[in-house]
Amino acid sequence: RRRRILPEIPEIEILRRECQEKLAGKRVAALVARPSIKHRLGTESACEALVGMRVSGAGRRGKMLILRFDDRLAMVVHLMLRGQALLLPASGFDFAVSPVGVIFDDKTRLEFRQVGLRIPQLVVKEDLDALPEIARLGVDALSPDLTLERFLSILDGRRGAIKALLMDQGVIAGLGNTYTNEILFAAHLHPERDIRTLNPEEIEAIHRSILPILQRGIELGGSSAESFLHLDGSPGHFHEHAYVFRREGQPCRQCGAIIQRTEVGGRGSFFCPGCQG
């Protein structure tokens, strides 16, 4: 059975940029939530204080979207497997479809569907870094802090499949199954290669592939192989241009060999035996 995949850095970064562009400056008219879960959004005082605040910006930590309000409160959202964040007209909110929504005074609403991390969490800005889901994250895969020197130190002394390590959020935040497959293809390395067998040139090839693959994902609008949609409801197209991910049985776009599938850490891993043998 094919497992679902989570949105990764490109998808969340796209939403971050769209929220920054389309939401910044909007004033909150109401915070609406399904009655059975409203108490889980945050403290009652925080929920009440949100009304009247303006969106001051949007951020991202790994695979989590963060909205800031008056630089005092932060809303943390994890899309999980099927989550969506959509900007819609204020009317027509349906709790059966969306558990949480933020209504703005310009008659629009930001609606969250099928989200996780329990549901969006509303926290005081100063408490953001202390959230367990954020505190446990490793260096962000898009961060300039992920230098080759730091990447070498991360791999030093570790063992096991390189793909499993790249997907470990406590080591490098933001990478998942889709883009890790593509990064290793670009680096010409098999996903099951043991970290201990990698030479410095191969490690550099992985590091050199991370940023271009993630940037390509952003440029192509993210992957909508699952449920990801842009803020306006339009899909992304990265999955249509993938070199190996979910292309088992199809010819490699570079060498013509047939793409194969294996499992690494319980996740489907796709590779080209010609390019990554």
> Which residues have a catalytic role annotated?
7-8, 63, 267
Yes or no: say if 7 and 83 are a contact pair by the CB < 8 Å rule: yes
The CA distance from 12 to 167, in Å, is 16
To the nearest 10 degrees (0 to 180), the angle between helices 148-155 and 200-219 is 120
Closest CA to 69 of 93, 48, 100: 48
d(CA 169, CA 12): 15
Pairing of β 84-89 and β 108-113: antiparallel
The type of residue at 251 is P
State both tokens at 265: 């850490």
Q: Residues of 8-23 as b/e, b for ≥16 C-beta within 10 angstroms?
A: bbbbbbbbbebbbebb
Distance separating alpha carbons of residues 123 and 36, to the nearest angstrom = 19
- CA nearest neighbour of 103 among 95, 91, 114: 91
Distances (CA, A) of 79 to 75, 112, 121, 129, 135: 13, 8, 12, 19, 18
**Cβ–Cβ under 8 Å, residues 119 and 99:** yes
